[in-house]
Chain A
Amino acid sequence: MSEYRAAEQIRWAVEAAGVVLINGATGAATSLSYPEAAIWDLITRGDSSEKIAAKLCAIAGLEPVAARKFVLDTVEAWRKAGFLRG
């Protein structure tokens, strides 16, 4: 199971080049391009950080250690920004 979920007020829309997050409370929009857009999709569908990192190796051509760090850093940044809870 995923350790994180989208925060209550966050909605999102899938676009050709990524994902747009919208804060339902403030109306603020944030565009996520790749590879972050893939992490957003996978985390909101319940993948664990380990599983996301494994997929990110193939999605973004990263080495396993770099992929793991990228996922953790991204998730932490989103948690601080209030996009994720958990």
Chain B
Amino acid sequence: MPSLVFAVPIFDKWLVYAPLQRVAALVNHAALAEFPEELRAALDESPEAEPRPRSGPVSPQFLGLVPTRACNLSCVYCGFGATPCGEQMDLRLAAAGVDWMADYSARAGRRTLDVHFFGGEPFSAPDVVDVAVHRTRAVAAERGLLPRLEVATNGVYPEPRARFVGDYFDAVVLSFDGFRAVHDRHRGCFDQVAATARVLAASPTELCFRMCVAEDNVEQLAETVDWFSEEFRPYSIDFETLQPTPESERAGLRPPDPYRFAAHFLSARRAACERGVEPVYAAAVTEEPRLTFCPVGNDTLILNPDGRLSACYLLERDWQARGLDLNLGRLGTDGGMELPGEDIERVRQLVADKPRCQNCFCRWSCAGGCHVNHSYPGCSLTYDDFCIQTRLITACSLLEGLGFASLADDLVADRAEMQRLALRPSDKVGAP
């Protein structure tokens, strides 16, 4: 039986981690060197089952709606190929998507009707959003469900639209990269985004900032968190490192050094916690063993403007370039749904096959990261920057959870020690 216990070096000690038992321990070198089997056996007791791909009838947590791929901005790192104009979803299609999800939610005995909006920029198709929001609320009321609406947005629109967003959405993920100079270099329209953030902060919505971290703002993470928290009181801040695109490279924007990102993220996380803001680095959430950290593999249905249902909200051409097929089916304006079982199964199985992650202690938390940009079929088997930062942040989180915060600080202050941990090819204990 393969070992399910992992260990990574922390100076002269070892951080031992059994993700299926959700147990971590800091032990000395002798314990690991002399008693690896005993240690493994002790930690291997009554583990939870390994996470497996979903099975049975399709069960989406939410319906994703892409009202349009168009966007009113042209951020220098955007990989969505967005333009100001673009196909908009037929209003009847948006309504049909909501009706299908309401029907499913009622049949499944859910309490909520969950609809999330993505883009492009969803509000570049404002009529589609208006219809989908009100249709969701109307059918939810009819069926005794609670509407639960979320949107990912750039916040660049006039105040009445911002008020609508704050009043009608339960959660808003606002792209906000930090201080004026950084935000304007990355995305533009700082003043308007800050104005929208103020309106949203004063509304009942749960406001989350999504911050793109690049080489030019990685040193400012803690300061940015302080300013965000004081000025806008967001519920959470999600830190995502720049995913390089030809556009970002042309603009001279580079991803941060992963070691520096890990160190600055740690300070930023402390600053956020002190101010009551939830810091998020999605790949390092260790609460529940999982096979995927995103909608793919979780049966989520993303409805595109052309009626295609897909598992991922990226453009079809992006996943096709990686040799992936993430299409799941099709919905018509008349409500006719095609959802072939073999397509659902294909995507469910995809998330279980990640050769690079087999021996990594993060395999059931990071779970390989993005299936399109990072853990695609045929990707390199060696750790890249995303792996390095994720492994470091996960180790620091486990140390902090054990009460060794100062050891985490020492670790991120010592590059050689970080490299020793981050570049270890296998973390498995007592296994070949």
Contact = CB atoms under 8 A, between A and B. Distances in A.
Interface string B132-176: 001101101110001100000000000011001001100000000
Interface string A39-65: 001100110000100110111110000
A55 B141 CA distance: 19
Contact of B131 (A14, A16, A45, A58): A58
B94 interface: yes
Contacts of B160: 45-46
B97 to A, nearest CB: 11
A21 interface: no
B206 interface: no
A14 B95 CA distance: 21
A46 B94 CA distance: 22
A37 B142 CA distance: 13
Interface string A1-15: 000000000000010
B92 interface: yes
Interface in A23-80: 33-35, 37-38, 41-42, 45-46, 51, 54-55, 57-61
Interface of A: 14, 16-18, 33-35, 37-38, 41-42, 45-46, 51, 54-55, 57-61
A58 B91 contact: yes
Contacts of B140: 16-17
Contact of A17 (B92, B135, B137): B137
B146 A59 contact: no
Contacts of A51: 127
A38 B134 contact: yes
B94 A58 contact: yes
Given A16-B140, A46-B160, A58-B95, A37 B147 contact: no
Most buried by A among B95, B131, B167: B131
B130 interface: yes
A54 B147 CA distance: 23
Contact of B134 (A16, A17, A41): A41
Interface string B106-138: 000000000000000000000100110011011
Contact of B138 (A45, A46, A57, A60): A60
A54 B167 CA distance: 23
Contact of B91 (A14, A16, A55): A55
Nearest to B163: A45
Nearest to B91: A58
B409 to A, nearest CB: 45
B146 A37 contact: no
Interface in B50-98: 91-92, 94-95
Interface residues on B, range: 20 to 34
Most buried by B among A33, A59, A61: A59
Contacts of B94: 58
Given A45-B164, A46-B160, A59 B135 contact: yes
Contacts of A55: 91, 127, 130-131, 134
Q: Is the interface of B mostly helix, strand, loop or mixed?
A: helix
A16 B138 contact: no
Contact of A34 (B92, B138, B167): B138
B401 to A, nearest CB: 36
Most buried by B among A14, A35, A57: A14
A38 B138 contact: yes
11 contacts: A16-B140, A17-B137, A17-B140, A18-B137, A37-B137, A41-B130, A41-B134, A41-B164, A41-B168, A42-B130, A60-B138
**Top 7 A-B pairs, shortest CB-CB distance:** A34-B138, A58-B91, A38-B134, A17-B141, A14-B167, A58-B131, A59-B134
Nearest to B147: A16
A31 to B, nearest CB: 11
A73 B405 CA distance: 65
Most buried by A among B94, B137, B138: B137
A17 B164 CA distance: 16
A17 B50 CA distance: 41
Given A16-B146, A59-B131, A35 B91 contact: no
A59 B141 contact: no
A33 B127 CA distance: 20
A34 B145 CA distance: 14
Given A55-B134, A58-B92, 6 more contacts: A14-B168, A17-B137, A34-B138, A58-B95, A58-B131, A61-B95
A37 B137 CA distance: 10
A38 B147 CA distance: 14
Nearest to A17: B141
B147 A58 contact: no
Nearest to B146: A16
